[in-house]
Structure 1
Amino acid sequence: MTPLLTAVDSFADRLRTLPQSRLSRGAAAEGLALARELAAWTQRIEEPGAAQVREMPDAGMFAVADQVAVAGHDLAEALLAVGASGAPEGIGTAEAVALVEAAARRCGL
């Protein structure tokens, strides 16, 4: 398992254990923002030069952990497919892990 998958799965698992009150006080919004950023990075890798990035929809606070997991796994697969030198500037495993860790800190996880 890559460091990105480890970080994403850990964050998603912790989100799944949060009560509704914590999710509604910002953890779900933070998770959704992270999922959207990871998905955007994947799109930049898979569709270089695309005119517009599609935004991940808000599927609700109880789905956000799954959205984080899916977006993180998609990004890990995209990075694996293009290799370290094929990703756009600023997009890589270390940068993605840092994003996930920062989101976890902001959520108090």
Structure 2
Amino acid sequence: MLDTTELTAAVDRLADRLRAAPQSRLQRGAAAAGLALARELAVRAQRLEAPDAPPRTMPDAGVFAVADQLVVAGNDLAEILRTAPAGPAFRRELDEAVAAVRRTAATATL
């Protein structure tokens, strides 16, 4: 079992920043960056859970929903990784997901 606390904490911090951002900032790109990350995390989770099925795209539910979409996608991926058998492939997946969240947090205009 992997410790996914780092992933969930990073996702929660970014989601909190998105929730606190003014509408104008969300519309200038912060929400788009959050949605892109949520979609990436959702695809990662789907590929681990059902590698033979084509991944579904998370819908755009609007700028005020993106923080919740990010939390759902991040927590889904974290749970899949937490319960996966320990191994380098799953560790790499976790590290890549954490890096993606940090990259988005560093580059999103919040």
- TM-score, normalized by length of structure 2? 0.89
Q: What is the Cα-based RMSD across aligned positions, in Å?
A: 1.8
Deviation by residue 1:70-107 (Cα, 9 ceiling, x = unmatched): 1000000000121342856952x211110001111121
Q: Relative to 1, partners in 2 of residues 1:63 and 1:105: Cα closer, same or farther, differing over 3 Å?
A: same
- Distance in 2 between residues matched to 1:76 and 1:84, nearest whole Å: 13
**2:102: which partner in 1?**
101
Consecutive unaligned residues in structure 1, runs of 5 or more: none
Structure number with higher helix proportion: 2
- Distance in 1 between residues matched to 2:73 and 2:48, nearest whole Å: 13
- Distance in 1 between residues matched to 2:73 and 2:51, nearest whole Å: 18
**2:51: which partner in 1?**
48
- Distance in 2 between residues matched to 1:87 and 1:57, nearest whole Å: 28
Q: Which runs of 4+ in 1 moved over 6 A?
A: none
Consecutive unaligned residues in structure 2, runs of 5 or more: none
- Distance in 2 between residues matched to 1:16 and 1:100, nearest whole Å: 16
- TM-score, normalized by length of structure 1? 0.90
**1:8: which partner in 2?**
11
